[in-house]
Structure 1
Amino acid sequence: MCRFLAYKGEPIFLDELVCAPAHSLVHQSLHAIEAKTETNGDGFGIGWYGERSEPGIYREVRPAWSDENLRSLCEQVRSKLFFAHVRASTGTSTTRANCHPFAHGRYLFMHNGQIGGYGRIKRRLEGLIPDELYDRRLGTTDSEAIFLLALANGLPEEPVVAMARTLKQVRGLMNDAGIDEALRFTAAFTDGENLWAYRWACDAKPPTLYFRELDGNLLVVSEPIDDKTRGWREVPKGCSLVARAGSVTVECLNQAMGRLAA
């Protein structure tokens, strides 16, 4: 499983969260605690918003702990909203195109989890992606496919409903293929101003996802970057964390899925 963090708040240098803490994301790339695999060395990526509406992206196939450019970049870039991700592949190749976060215009998306039996439904899943979005598919991961399908389902307009619809479609493909393995999903999505974080699994065993609010700033992580007692709360299972200007709320992803037509 991968590890990631998302930050929204007053502008800070990226290294304050990505590199500096005792259990920073770079440290987690070598020594993750709350993941099936301790090492997340199949590439990394950061995406950040600056003076322009579209984010900057830096992705690399080297492990995060061994890339001196990552630390230098994080020491110089200041942002009010950024994503960072270290990857542990679930079967697809280690290429730059498969590293997170994924971008489409002003939107960023990153994912941790798995589609059980992905190889058996990959072609049918990709067939649900419209041509104009499929042209943007550069890699081979289930994560990128989910992102593009969610965009087709209206992710920018209805981030919770669109993601619920997408997960329901993927689960339907798995059921049709007779796949018994689980669909487990945590992810983060942003339009550059607002932030959504999702935690869901068909077997009620989603990957870990935590958040902390401090002085108006929001941090969402796969696992805490410091002592777990320092204000961290779990995103509830089957829910989505929604951060808009001045508010952080929790919406039920399960309820959104239940309201959708079969």
Structure 2
Amino acid sequence: MCRWLAYSGTPQLLETILYKPAHSLIDQSLHSRLGVETTNGDGFGVGWYTQEDLATPATFRDIGPAWNNRNLRELADHVRSPLFFAHIRASTGTAVQQTNCHPFRHGRWMFMHNGAIAEFHRMRRELTMLIDPELYPNVEGTTDSEVMFHLALTFGLEGDPPGAVARMAGVVERVAREHGVESPLQMTLAISDGEHLWAFRYSSRHESRSLFYSSRVDTLRKLHPDMEFLQEVSDETRLVVSEPLGDLPGAWNEVPESTYGIVGPGGDSLHPFTPQAA
């Protein structure tokens, strides 16, 4: 499995979020507390939007561990973004190669995943053949995650992200039943179009991997008036993370089981998530 974070809000240097917290994502690459694996060293990736160009996210991905990558350290010190993803990978069986590192990108969309499709090797051909033929040439790697992304694109991600992910999950579970695979899907997902961020927590067994979101900034300012970072960011700033970046009281809230959330202009919200027939 993997660990990831998504940031949305006042533009920040990537290093502020990636490196500075006590239990940063870089620390989690060696010392994960809530993941299936303590070490997540099978590659990493960051993706970000700039204020000048929200339609074309940039990505940087590599197959080595995040904790000692000098290029990531250099990039994080100089790139400032209002919305970015970061992901550290622990392979569930597919190859350690750049095309299997998250986040994945299509047009203005970014996608990253923690979890797995159980017995994916038995269903891979059938699931892959359900991808829109026009999208199929864009599948570069061998992961279940990238197939999930392209299935969501096939089922209408660009017009209805929650519905598309629900239909993707429904198809995975249907195909799994046909192959005699019980409880096939385990996922925490982050998806963005550069303006909004959608985060999902779901598993077929209803025992999903950990996922948390940060409390409202105005609430945290009242609890921790001396924290300089909280004075510098807008009230709409949010983080969604696989596990908390520190032990600041009142800062982190667990995303409920079978739930998705929306972060973006105009406020945030949580909603029930249920797979749908496609």
What TM-score results when the alignment is normalised by the length of structure 2?
0.90
Deviation at 1:180, TM superposition (A): 2.8
Deviations 1:170-195 (A, max 9, x none): 01111100013541110000000000
1:211 and 2:213 matched: yes
Partner of 1:120: 122
The one-letter code sitting in structure 1 at the alignment partner of 2:142 is T
Residue of structure 2 aligned with 1:158, choices 157, 160, 163 = 160
Residue 48 (structure 2) aligns with: 48
Map 1:63-142 onto structure 2 (within 5 A).
Answer: 63-142=65-144
Aligned partners of 1:14, 1:238: CA distance in 2, in Å? 30
CA RMSD of aligned residues (A): 1.1
2:61 alignment partner in structure 1: 59
Partner of 1:222: 242
AA of the residue aligned to 1:18: L
Amino-acid identity (%)? 46
Could you report, residue by residue, the CA deviation over 1:102-150 in whole angstroms, capped at 9, with x for unpaired residues? 0001110000001011000000000100111111000000000000000
SS for the counterpart of 2:61 is: strand
Whole-angstrom CA distance in 1 between matches of 2:23 and 2:95 = 27
- Structure possessing the higher radius of gyration over alpha carbons: 2
Name the structure 2 match of 1:241.
261
Residue of structure 1 in register with 2:272 after alignment: 252
Aligned length: 258
Matched position secondary structure for 1:236 = coil
Q: Which amino acid aligns with 2:14?
A: L
Contact 1:126 1:145 in 2 (8 A): yes
Q: Gaps (5+ residues) in structure 1?
A: none
Contact 2:173 2:184 in 1 (8 A): no
Partner of 1:27: 27
Separation (CA, whole Å) in 2 of partners of 1:180 and 1:147: 22
The equivalent residue for 1:37 is: 37
8 Å contact 2:236–2:264 — kept in the other structure?
A: no
Any conservation in 2 of the 1:8–1:217 contact (CA below 8 Å)? Answer: yes
User: Contact 1:61 / 1:96 at 8 angstroms: preserved in 2?
Assistant: yes
- Output the CA distance in 1 between the equivalents of 2:179 and 2:266: 44
Kept in 1, the 8 Å contact 2:183–2:203? The answer is no
Is the aligned partner of 1:201 residue 2:203? yes
SS in 2 for 1:247: coil
Q: Distance in 2 between matches of 1:142 and 1:149?
A: 10
Deviation at 1:19, TM superposition (A): 1.1
SS in 2 for 1:230: coil
Match for residue 4 of structure 2?
4
How far does residue 230 in structure 1 lie from its aligned partner after superposition?
A: 3.4
C-alpha deviations, 1:215-245, integer Å up to 9, x for none?
A: 3201000000011633211111111011131
- Distance in 2 between residues matched to 1:222 and 1:21, nearest whole Å: 14
Ranges in structure 2 where 5+ consecutive residues have no aligned partner: 218-234
Q: State the shift of 1:20 in Å.
A: 1.2
Contact 1:117 1:181 (8 Å CA) reproduced = no
Which whole-Å CA distance do the structure 2 matches of 1:228 and 1:189 have between them?
26
Give 1:11 deviation, angstroms: 0.3
Deviations 1:13-69 (A, max 9, x none): 000111111100011000000011000000000000012220111000010012011
TM-score in terms of structure 1 length = 0.96
Distance 2:103 2:89 in 1: 10
Please report how far the alpha carbon of residue 261 of structure 1 lies from its aligned counterpart in structure 2 after TM superposition: 4.8
